[in-house]
Each structure stands twice: as structure tokens, then as C-alpha cells.
Amino acid sequence: MFNWVDGQPADAVSLKDRGLAYGDGLFETIAVKAGQPLLLERHLQRLEAGCGRLAIVADHALIRSELLVFAATLGDGILKLILTRGDGLRGYGINAGAPARRILQGSPPATYPEAHGSSGIRLFPCATRLSEQPLLAGLKHLNRLEQVIARAEWHDADHAEGLMLDMSGRVIEGVFSNLFLVDDGHLLTADLSRCGVAGVMRAELLARAEASGITTRVVDISLEQLQQADEVFVCNSVYGIWPVLGCGPMSWSAGPLTRKLQGIVRTLLGV
Amino acid sequence: MFNWVDGQPADAVSLKDRGLAYGDGLFETIAVKAGQPLLLERHLQRLEAGCGRLAIVADHALIRSELLVFAATLGDGILKLILTRGDGLRGYGINAGAPARRILQGSPPATYPEAHGSSGIRLFPCATRLSEQPLLAGLKHLNRLEQVIARAEWHDADHAEGLMLDMSGRVIEGVFSNLFLVDDGHLLTADLSRCGVAGVMRAELLARAEASGITTRVVDISLEQLQQADEVFVCNSVYGIWPVLGCGPMSWSAGPLTRKLQGIVRTLLGV
């Protein structure tokens, strides 16, 4: 596999990089199929929105063209883009003259068990809660210690993902996925204005569901609502959709709406 | 100036480093005077405590000896140690086999105006609030986007630091300092069990004050308490103590306890 830093082959980055120093940057993990970066427009939209929120100045046309060339070279696999604020001086103050740094990393296709999608998975009920920070909520930024700690809570293969709540006990998302539930035919997913990552697949599913006449609702979700849901699934832009069969004492079955959306995603991701 | 990565001269770090990917690591910024790292034991204590909390396995004896050699070579300046969880695989899961990575960066002595300490400073009242995450509170970890955003709130030279509150409006700290206030002869500083960085100078001052018979209290502090304080100052292990003269509409004078503690710090830092 191969990597680029600012368009050049490289396997290392400057020690002055603010991504390293402060997690001062954003990332996107993009599935690449037959040389094409999937859901590219949504990834670029989120990245640009993140740059706007964090005041990171980047050349988005250059990023787009670089992603396309990189993906074509990669063929099939995972393309991770890290966009940092570039080199820093000492201290938190922003060096307005430093350009953003583009780090592209290629890796082989994901190798999750096929049964995760076909049969479904169990979620580990993480004790780690998501802190509430509206200024960063929704962004796929590089400050991910909460996810690191949460992912370290379980080691067994019986749990393919973890469930994360916020500090107030609201149901938010998985460690590396967004979460949906089906309630009386409606598709629900958590409001991410206080915490959480607004996933590209989540956005795509909300749009596709609406287009198919399915009512969608982005709301606060309680554990009780989750427990009473007719169907539950997790999603991201790499693996698509996994039905959720259980989490701690709660259990569900893979239902018809989950299966319908899996069909749509299969076309999208070519899996 | 010069840098080491795992004991070797280097100016770059692997793209696989989890410090870059997730901010998965810790740092210490250490003043070095005449080849000696100042407050070294407290820096090492905090680092080791942070490693314990984040389950980062590191050779602390090696870190100590490396810091001593690096500081001796540096002479006078600032030594920044970044300790990351080392190289990662794809995803948040921890690669238990990867050793922690030691990044040492040398830079010249800090060049703050002398008047910050002698006359005092004004704090910018930051709108950015600190989110509450007990699992990370107190640690000097690499997830510092809140500080980056807060520091970007002001550009004028009239404010040498910013004041940060938590989501509930409690007074917590500066962007790169801890905050103390003097109330009726008692020394107060914020409880950092929900958010904030437990500074090395803060710990040293609490210990020194207790040893001098000054009552210290680590408590929740309201804006009203801050406003009514007899004296206010900020501190860190590089610049020592700056009296605070104002923040927004609030104002204070540099008082006798602040001056007394500045005398102690002057001896400690040799400034």
C-alpha cells in the first residue's frame, strides 16, 4: 500500500504538524471500488463543512482531484484522508500562513465477516460516554480519545461494535458507526448537535429513505426507545449496514426496513 | 533546535502514528534552565498517571533518562515531550504489541513580555466552553481542539490569556494556564475532575502554599466568586505566575499573596 503527503509519496509527517500536536484536523475514511471513491461528494461536503467550522483553509478542488487520482491508483481498498492545519508554532495560536496538510493513506479492503451484514451483530454497551461539545459535534475531527477508550472496553469477537450514550444518557451512535432504529415504520437516528460524528452513510441513508417515502426523524433517543424499537442497525461508509440483534439485555431481529436499506447500500458500495 | 523520536534525531513521525490519527497520546511542556528540566518529577508523575488512565504502556525510566540527556543538550529552552500510543492498525482498536513513541522537541526559551509577570495581564472571556469528560479530565492529552478554538477567539495583544468555563458555567482555567484566586487569604483553584488540565505548576503551588501555612481549596468556582476574589492569577510551568488585572467587565489588583507566590516561583524557575 502507499501514502501521499501533499501530493508526494511519503510515509512520515513533520513533527511540527498540528494534527500530531493537538489533533487539529479532520479525516475521512473512504471506500474505493474499481478505482472510484464511493460517496465522494458527501465526504467532500462533510470535510468542507468541518474546515468551515474549524477555520481550516484548504484547496478543496485540489483535494478532490487528488482523491480521484489516488483512488484510481488504489483500485480497491480504503482511502483515508487526514487534513491537518499544517505546521504550527509553539502554542495553540494558529499560524495563519501555514497551509493545511493533505495526508492520503491507502489500505486493503476491509475484511469484516460477511455474517455481520447477513445475520447481524451484537453491540457492546460501552461505559464510556460522549462528552457534549456543540462546537465540535458532527465533525469527523482528529480528537478521538473517547472512541479509543470506548473501543478498548471489549476484546471478544461476540461484539462487532459498541453502543455509546452521551453524558445525559441519550443514545448517540456506535464507536465507528451511526445508529438507526425503526419505530412503527419510521426511521430514527440521533440528533448530533451536541456530540457524535455525522456519518456520510447516515446522511445518504436519510436522503434515500426520504426519497423512498420512508419518514425519517433526527431526534433525541432514549435507551427505552431503543429497547422498544422494531429494528436497529448500525452503518458506516465502509461496511454499509449491519443489523443489530442485541446489546446487553436488549434484543431485536433484523427486520424488513433494514433489509430494504441494505439492498440500496449494496448497490451503492458494490458489496 | 533539534528533535528526537525514540531517542534518535528525527524531524518526522510515521503516518501510522496514533497521535496523528486520533490524538491518542499525552504531552508535557517542560522549562529547561542550564541543562536542567524544571519540575521534572511532577511532569513525570503526571505523564505516568496519564499513561495509567489511557492504558499506554511506556518505559518511564527510559523517558526520565532521555529527558535528562535532552535537557542537558538543550541548555536553556523549552522541551516538549509527546508520548503517543505508537503505530496503529486501521481503526480505533489498540495494537497491544506497538510500543509507545517518544517524541522530544527542543525550542528556544519562551519570550513573553516581562510586564506580564510584573504588572499583570488581562484575560479574554472565551465563549468556547470546556466539555465535561471525567475519563479525560486533568490529563494533558493530545485532544486539544477546544483550546485551539478558544485561542483563536482573540488576536489583540491586550489579552495575554483567555478564561475558559465549563458547559455548566463553572470557572475552570486559562487556555494554556491554570487559574487561582485568593479569597479572604485562602487560595482557591478549580476542581478538575470533569474537565481541564491539572497543571504541574498548579500542583507545585498547591503544595508550596500548604507548606507555607496558606489554606488551599480545590473547589467548584462560580463567575460570581471569581468576580469577588481579592486576587486572581494564572500560572503554568513555563512562565510561572501572571497576576490577572481584568477579564471583560471584572477587575482585580495584583495582591500580596500573588506576589509572595511569584517569589517562590522565581526561585523554582530561575526567572
Chain pair A-B, CB pairs under 8 angstroms? 159
**Taking CA atoms, what residue in A is nearest to B18?**
A20
Phi and psi at residue B91, in whole multiples of 5°? 95, 170
**What is the predicted pLDDT for the residue at A110?**
92
CATH class label, A115-269: alpha beta
R_g (Cα) of chain A, nearest Å:
19
* Mean of per-residue pLDDT scores for chain B: 96
The residues of A carrying an active-site annotation are 29, 140, 173
Taking the C-alpha atoms of residue A16 and residue A84, their distance in angstroms, rounded to an integer, is 11
Number of H helices, E strands in chain A: 8, 16
CB B134 within 8 A of CB A132: no
Query: What is the β-pairing status of strands A171-174 and B159-165?
Result: unpaired
Percent of chain A with pLDDT over 70: 100
Taking the C-alpha atoms of residue A142 and residue A124, their distance in angstroms, rounded to an integer, is 23
CB A21 within 8 A of CB A88: yes
Give every CB contact of residue A48 below 8 A, 6+ residues apart in sequence.
A60
DSSP three-state, residue A50: helix
Give the relative orientation of helices A256-269 and A200-211 as an angle to the nearest 10 degrees: 120
CB B254 within 8 A of CB B245: yes
Give every CB contact of residue A194 below 8 A, 6+ residues apart in sequence.
A132, A133, A134, A137, A166
Q: Please give the span between the terminal C-alpha atoms of chain A, in angstroms, as a whole number.
A: 22
Contact (CB<8Å) A22/B21: no
| Cα B35 off chain centre by | 21
Percent of chain B with pLDDT over 90: 95
Fold agreement between A3-107 and A115-269: no
DSSP class of A38 = T
The yes/no answer to whether this complex scores an ipTM above 0.95 is: yes
**What is the predicted pLDDT for the residue at A58?**
96
Contact (CB<8Å) A5/B15: yes
Taking the C-alpha atoms of residue A70 and residue A203, their distance in angstroms, rounded to an integer, is 24
| Cα A269 off chain centre by | 15
**What is the predicted pLDDT for the residue at A1?**
80
Cell 465526504 identifies what position? A43
Confidence of residue A271 (pLDDT cuts 50, 70, 90): low
Q: Is B52 on the interface with A (CB under 8 A)?
A: no
Q: How crowded is residue B81: how many other Cβ atoms within 10 Å of its Cβ?
A: 22
pLDDT above 80: residue A270: no
pLDDT above 90: residue B86: yes
Q: Which three cell numbers stand for residue B179?
A: 487559574
Point out the residue among A11, A129, A145 whose CB comes nearest to the CB of B22.
Answer: A145
- 114-143 in A: which are within 8 Å (CB) of B? 128-129, 131-133, 135-136, 141-143
**What is the predicted pLDDT for the residue at B121?**
98
* Interface with chain B: mutation pick from A27, A56, A81, A90, highest number of B CBs within 10 Å: A90
Q: Is B21 on the interface with A (CB under 8 A)?
A: yes
* Dihedral (CA of A36, A38, A39, A44) sign: negative
pLDDT digits (tens, 9 = 90+) for A97-147: 778 999 999 999 999 999 999 999 999 999 999 999 999 999 999 999 999
Give the relative orientation of helices A40-54 and A200-211 as an angle to the nearest 10 degrees: 120
Point out the residue among B17, B90, B103 whose CB comes nearest to the CB of A107.
Answer: B90
pLDDT above 70: residue B271: no
Candidates 1.10.260.40, 3.30.470.10, 3.40.50.720, 3.30.10.20; CATH matching A3-107: 3.30.470.10
| Distance to chain A for B56, nearest Cα, Å | 11
DSSP class of B196 = S
Phi and psi at residue B251, in whole multiples of 5°? -145, 150
* Interface with chain A: mutation pick from B2, B6, B18, B22, highest number of A CBs within 10 Å: B22
pLDDT digits (tens, 9 = 90+) for A48-69: 999 999 999 999 999 999 999 9
DSSP A148-169: HHHHTT---TTEEEEEEEBTT-
| Cα B203 off chain centre by | 11
**What is the predicted pLDDT for the residue at B96?**
80
Q: Is B156 on the interface with A (CB under 8 A)?
A: no
pLDDT digits (tens, 9 = 90+) for A167-221: 999 999 999 999 999 999 999 999 999 999 999 999 999 999 999 999 999 999 9
pLDDT digits (tens, 9 = 90+) for B175-200: 999 999 999 999 999 999 999 999 99
Point out the residue among B10, B20, B129 whose CB comes nearest to the CB of A19.
Answer: B20
CB B117 within 8 A of CB B239: yes
Taking the C-alpha atoms of residue B162 and residue B25, their distance in angstroms, rounded to an integer, is 25
Length of chain A in residues, anyone?
A: 271
Contact (CB<8Å) A15/B13: yes
Q: Which three cell numbers stand for residue B141?
A: 492529552
Amino acid (one-letter) located at B133: Q
For chain B, give every domain's residue range.
3-107, 115-269
More confidently predicted of B215 and A89? B215
Q: Which three cell numbers stand for residue A39?
A: 460517496
Taking the C-alpha atoms of residue B194 and residue B185, their distance in angstroms, rounded to an integer, is 26
Torsional class of B31: left (φ above 0), alpha (ψ -120 to 50), beta (otherwise): beta
CB B270 within 8 A of CB B238: no
- 57-116 in B: which are within 8 Å (CB) of A? 78, 80, 82, 84-85, 90-94, 103, 105, 107, 110
**Taking CA atoms, what residue in B is nearest to A149?**
B54
Look at A92-101, A179-188, B83-92, B242-251 and tell me which has the smallest mean pLDDT. A92-101
Give every CB contact of residue A270 below 8 A, 6+ residues apart in sequence.
A33, A34, A38
Taking the C-alpha atoms of residue A205 and residue A157, their distance in angstroms, rounded to an integer, is 27
The residues of B carrying an active-site annotation are 29, 140, 173
Taking the C-alpha atoms of residue A251 and residue A230, their distance in angstroms, rounded to an integer, is 10
Strand partners, A138: A197
Give every CB contact of residue B18 below 8 A, 6+ residues apart in sequence.
A148, B24, B25, B84, B85, B86, B87, B88
pLDDT above 70: residue A41: yes
Q: How far is CA B238 from CA B37, B77, B149, B212, in A?
A: 11, 9, 22, 23
